[in-house]
Amino acid sequence: MTEPRKFRYIGRHRRAVEHRRFVVGKGRYAADIQLQGLLHVAIVASPHAHAKIISIDTAAALAMPGVHAVLTGEELNVNTEAMLPGVDAPQVKRYPLAHGVARYSGEWVVAIVAESRALAEDAAELVEVEYEPLPHIVDPEQALQADAPLVHAANGSNVIFQRVFNWGEVDAHFAAAPHKLSYRARWARSSTVPIETFAVSAWSNDATGILDVWASIQMPKFPDQLARALRMPGNAVRVHFDVDVGGSYGVKRGLKHAVLVGYLARKTGRPVRFIEDRLENMRGGDMQGPDRIFDVTLAFDGRGIIRSMRMRAVDDVGAYAGRSPLQLGKPVGAIIGPYRIASVQYEAISVMTNKTPQEAVRGFGQAPTNYAIETGIDKVARYLNMDRIELRLRNLIGKDEFPYLIPSGTTYDSGDYATVLGKALDAAPLAEIEKERDALRARGQLAGIGISTCLEPSGGNSAFEPLFNPKNQTTTWMDSCLIRIDLNESITALMGTSTSGQAHETLVSTVVGEVLDREPDSIRVLHADSLNALPSNSPVGSRMAIMLGGAAAGAAKKLRAKLMRIAAHNLGLPESELVYQDGNIAAKTEPAKRLTWGQLVEIAHRKIHQMPKGDEPGLQEKFVLEVPTGGKLPTADGRVQMYPCHSFETHLVLASLDPQTCKVTVHRYVCGHDCGVMISPDVVHGMTYGGIAHGLGAALMEKFAFSDDGQLLSGTFMDYLLPSSMEVPSISIVDHCTPSPLTEFGQKGSGEAGYLGGPAAIASAINDALAPVGASIDALPMTPYALWHALARAEKNSS
Amino acid sequence: MSKIKLTSIAIKVNGVVREAQVEPRTTLVDFLRDTLFLTGTHIGCEHGVCGACSVLVDGDPVRSCCMFAVQADGLSVTTVEGLAPERGKLSAIQDAFCEKHAMQCGYCTPGMLIACHALVERNPHPDEAAIREAISGNLCRCTGYQQIVDAVKHATGAKSGAHD
Ligand code: FES
Ligand code: FES
């Protein structure tokens, strides 16, 4: 496919279906679910970074009127299965409540169930826990030392995953390269921090044996894992996906929350609910993000052509691990960014510390890696005294080089990076931004222009699982859709996962409307529950436009084909002589010879005597889509096709900092974006704006800071700062479309757009601003305090 | 059960007087959500920063997590459920939020709508700076605010942003 196809509904402005309920306060979030006799949970958390639990006295709490249960790890852990990490580290066991040892400050130790949350909190204050503090470790590099205190003694080391990959002739390329440049880049622990905290309710019906669960989740295989942890059959846990999720961007996993609440619901025989308060979310919700130290060396020639890269990434996953170590695996699929780098050595190290555990964050580890690569590209330009844009243009993979196989085994599907970059520069336009920068400098501000060119791998496969864990042979990461046309002629589509703001109902109705040529607003899209859903791997990895969109198209095409067969049979004509329009089917040459949508539907539902032989009665089709290019295990040297599609984004930023206060202002922001065919442009733009805002937070403001004692210092919105409408500038997005040859409509993913290149571009602008005074900074977030230090360092060095 | 003394209150909520007995420690947002089942008002932080819990109290935007229900006794409260002129209709701001895709997950949306309604009540033709100022106490993690600003411009007749 070279030119984008023409569509009737795809790619057009239309109102999202979901908005109609949100603007009138009729969304249905997990905390809104009303259950009769609902009980509420409060948590007693460890105040220590690492401590032995000597004793727990729950008597006073239990005796309080209105308290139904007080649960400790001693009871819970023998009655549930441990939640295991995504890598092969069976000794790193996690349960919802600590038992014996608490490994981070904020870890849950006791759960109280009472008639109201307020009562549960009153009772929590009566629980007495005696601790004996143990040596703790908060610094990831110190945690790697042989004599470091161990977070999990049984694991024998704080390292939970480590592997060196060599892809291509790294040594030879380094030996032949005239220039090498080494640097360190630091990505701080931040996260997506949705405005809705995690909420879960569960109700166990003794008669049916079914545990019903409503949770604000975005998690692949959540129902299966929950059932396994609770030691229940898969068909006894019913997770309701028709819950609106108040933002996630990766982190809303909440397995431990659901195991706890599910257990308590079964124990008490009553519906039970837990809603994190903000501190519980920030400190004990296990939803902090990647926390990385990159040591990188680039090998290049005098023209700035980068031949090879050595990258060592140490990621601090905190005290326990679910899928977090795999966040070093996903970037393997775009380890050279959009550049023609011929060989790579990559060392990935996941280390545990006595901090809140890390969870999946928008991009699944790609944004930090992109930041590390882009930092190096700017450094090479500065080293060679070359323009940063020119250097990029020399290294960007050319539009005619696709499909492009990268050293680590992934093939990039398509792209036109230089054109997108050019379009963004023209839209800015660059000359005007340079003028503005000069004007700011003339006014005494430190002003700079930032640039980044980055990839967003999309279509979410799970190839990093077998890559990082040989015992895991997962090679499929399917998604599905079921579509029915009822006797009254309307269309209903069913998806098997929940939505956290990506407008999937709009996506599916648009796609089904396109294929069946019916008005999308007449199509109902529902979220199934896990017992009647087809398999889904949830909206992770920028996958739903590709995977859910693809599955919906697949099912709709089956229905369309069936309608054609019915028409051919009844009109006595071959299908090749029929045309399908608006759901009606007529003879090409004789339009009066036709069957309407209603007639076709009626035949299928009522008149088996008019159905073609071999066709089932009724109109219902399912489609389970395997990830395009998926299905293979990694090679022995760790090469694998990661995600199928690759969106591209370039960011151009004008920023300044006040030399006195070091406050940063972003004056201009342009983003060139190519995610192939956009099914819903408003949705894509929205996610891109939001991703940029999130990236601005990660670059300048957000950090889960810990004291040396392992105490979280930023557990509220007064010290963990989210960008507001005053910090986020007005943004212009410049679209470009290079269709993917691998997908139904040429679409690629975009759920992580903006965040994947934003932090790198803002950092680039700051360093451009600092360069004239000889200062630089390679650590996020670039807070006023950090920038003040960078300036002070430069001043000291020059004097 | 709790021995905390209950207090009688009467609050006019979305035009209807609602009488109830509440614990003095019950916040207004908990009262709206748990007693009146008006779950359109959301909770994001319970410490007055995110604005998800915003409601209009006698016409002014207020954080209902930082106010006790007893403090609203005798006052008039409007929640997101009360913003539309009538059932089945949308206010101009609500309609513009739909038209301009001013939300994604919808979680901050009720608070945003409250802030925007309060703004246009005071200033029917706000410029971009005034809009950004008016919503600066409401955090949204999804939208980057751009399409919210566009929506308010759209509703108030100003020219909006890049993707019209
Ligand atoms: S919940 Fe009230 S301001 Fe955040
Ligand atoms: S729309 Fe999700 S937080 Fe604003």
Q: What is A19-26+478-625's CATH topology?
A: Aldehyde Oxidoreductase; domain 4 (3.30.365)
Residue A799 has a pLDDT of: 81
Note whether A24 contacts B94, CB cutoff 8 Å: yes
* Ligand 2 mean position, distance from CA A468 (Å): 34
Would the CB of B102 count as within 6 Å of ligand 2?
no
How confident is the prediction for chain B on average, in pLDDT? 95
Give the closest-approach CA distance of A14 to chain B in angstroms. 8
- B-chain residues within 8 Å CB-CB of A689? 143-147
Mean pLDDT of A759-768: 98
Domain shared by B67 and B104, yes or no? no
Tokens of A381: 């330009």
Q: What is A33-134+204-246+253-274's CATH topology?
A: Aldehyde Oxidoreductase; domain 3 (3.90.1170)
Please indicate, yes or no, if residue B56 is contained in any of the structural domains.
Answer: yes
Domain CATH number, residue B113: 1.10.150.120
Please indicate, yes or no, if residue B71 is contained in any of the structural domains.
Answer: yes
Q: Which of B81, B113, B131 is the last residue of a domain?
A: B81
Does an H or E element contain A289, and which?
Answer: none
- In degrees, rounded to 5, the angle at the alpha carbon of residue A687 between the alpha carbons of residues A532 and A664 is 145
Topology agreement, domain A19-26+478-625 and domain A292-459+638-798: yes
State the residue for tokens 């796609």: A511
**Which of A20, A278, A686 is nearest residue B46 as measured by Cβ atoms?**
A278
Domain shared by B118 and B71, yes or no? no
Please indicate, yes or no, if residue B77 is contained in any of the structural domains.
Answer: yes
Would the CB of B139 count as within 6 Å of ligand 1?
no
Please indicate, yes or no, if residue B124 is contained in any of the structural domains.
Answer: yes
Domain shared by B102 and B53, yes or no? no
- Identify the bridge partners of residue A646 per DSSP, sorted by sequence position: A457
pLDDT of A686 higher than 90: yes
Residue B164 has a pLDDT of: 39
Give the closest-approach CA distance of B74 to chain A in angstroms. 24
**What atom in ligand 1 is closest to the CA of residue B51?**
3
Give the closest-approach CA distance of A407 to chain B in angstroms. 35
d(CA A261, CA A273): 7
Q: Which of B47, B81, B115 is the last residue of a domain?
A: B81
pLDDT of B161 higher than 70: no
Mean pLDDT of A605-615: 97
pLDDT of A2 higher than 90: no
Q: How many CA atoms, within 13 angstroms, populate the side-chain half-sphere of residue A286?
A: 23
What is the extent of the structural domain holding B68? 7-81
How confident is the prediction for chain A on average, in pLDDT? 97
d(CA A102, CA A51): 5
Q: Using alpha carbons, list the distances in angstroms from residue A417 to A395, A434, A605, A650, A737.
A: 10, 22, 51, 8, 11
* Ligand 1 mean position, distance from CA A72 (Å): 31
How long, in residues, is chain B? 164
Residue A4 has a pLDDT of: 62
pLDDT of A88 higher than 80: yes
Give the β-pairing of A479-485 and A491-495: antiparallel
Mean pLDDT of A273-288: 97
Give how many domains chain B has, as a whole number. Answer: 2
Domain shared by B48 and B111, yes or no? no
Domain shared by B70 and B131, yes or no? no
Residue B3 has a pLDDT of: 67
Q: Which of B31, B58, B81 is the last residue of a domain?
A: B81
pLDDT of A552 higher than 80: yes
Q: DSSP secondary-structure letter at A706?
A: B
Domain shared by B60 and B106, yes or no? no
Mean pLDDT of A479-487: 98
d(CA A76, CA A61): 18
Tokens of A778: 């390679």
Q: For B64-104, how does the pLDDT look when each residue is reduced to its tens digit (9 = 90+)?
A: 999 999 999 999 999 999 999 999 999 999 999 999 999 99
With a threshold of 0.95, does the pTM exceed it? yes
- Cα-Cα-Cα-Cα dihedral of A87, A88, A91, A94, to 10°? 30
Nearest chain B residue to A193, by CA = B141
Mean pLDDT of A419-434: 98
pLDDT of B17 higher than 90: yes
Q: What pLDDT band is residue A798 in, cutting at 50, 70 and 90? A: confident
- B-chain residues within 8 Å CB-CB of A20? 98
**Ordered DSSP codes for A187-241:** E-------SS--EEEEEEETTTTEEEEEE----TTHHHHHHHHTT--GGGEEEE-
The residue extents of the domains of chain A are 19-26+478-625, 33-134+204-246+253-274, 292-459+638-798
pLDDT of A682 higher than 90: yes
Q: Which of A19, A193, A201 to mutate to test the interface with B (most CBs of B within 10 A)?
A: A19
Please indicate, yes or no, if residue B1 is contained in any of the structural domains.
Answer: no
Would the CB of B142 count as within 6 Å of ligand 2?
yes
Please indicate, yes or no, if residue B53 is contained in any of the structural domains.
Answer: yes
Domain shared by B25 and B71, yes or no? yes
Domain shared by B71 and B27, yes or no? yes
Burial A160-197 (b: 16+ CB within 10 A, else e): bbbeebbbbebeebbeebeeebebebbbbbbbbbbbbb
Please, is A253 exposed, middle or buried when counting C-beta atoms within 10 Å of its C-beta (0-12, 13-18, 19+)?
buried
* Ligand 2 mean position, distance from CA B104 (Å): 5
Q: What pLDDT band is residue A23 in, cutting at 50, 70 and 90? A: very high
Q: Is A64 on the interface with B (CB under 8 A)?
A: no
Chain-centroid distance, C-alpha A745: 23
Domain shared by B59 and B25, yes or no? yes
Domain shared by B71 and B36, yes or no? yes
Give the closest-approach CA distance of B145 to chain A in angstroms. 6
**What atom in ligand 1 is closest to the CA of residue B63?**
2
- A-chain residues within 8 Å CB-CB of B164? none
Note whether A246 contacts B90, CB cutoff 8 Å: no
Q: Is A612 on the interface with B (CB under 8 A)?
A: no
Domain shared by B97 and B75, yes or no? no
Q: Is A249 on the interface with B (CB under 8 A)?
A: yes
Q: For the domain covering A292-459+638-798, report its CATH number.
A: 3.30.365.10
Q: Which of B13, B30, B68, B146 to mutate to test the interface with A (most CBs of A within 10 A)?
A: B146
Does an H or E element contain B20, and which?
Answer: strand B16-22
Domain shared by B128 and B97, yes or no? yes
Q: Which residues contact A764 (CB under 8 A, 6 or more apart)?
A: A374, A375, A378, A388, A448, A449, A450, A451, A452, A653
Q: Is A702 on the interface with B (CB under 8 A)?
A: no
Residue B137 has a pLDDT of: 98
Q: Which residues contact A532 (CB under 8 A, 6 or more apart)?
A: A494
Q: What pLDDT band is residue A1 in, cutting at 50, 70 and 90? A: very low
d(CA A330, CA A325): 10
Please indicate, yes or no, if residue B86 is contained in any of the structural domains.
Answer: no
Please indicate, yes or no, if residue B164 is contained in any of the structural domains.
Answer: no
Q: For A115-126, how does the pLDDT look when each residue is reduced to its tens digit (9 = 90+)?
A: 999 999 999 999
d(CA B117, CA B124): 10
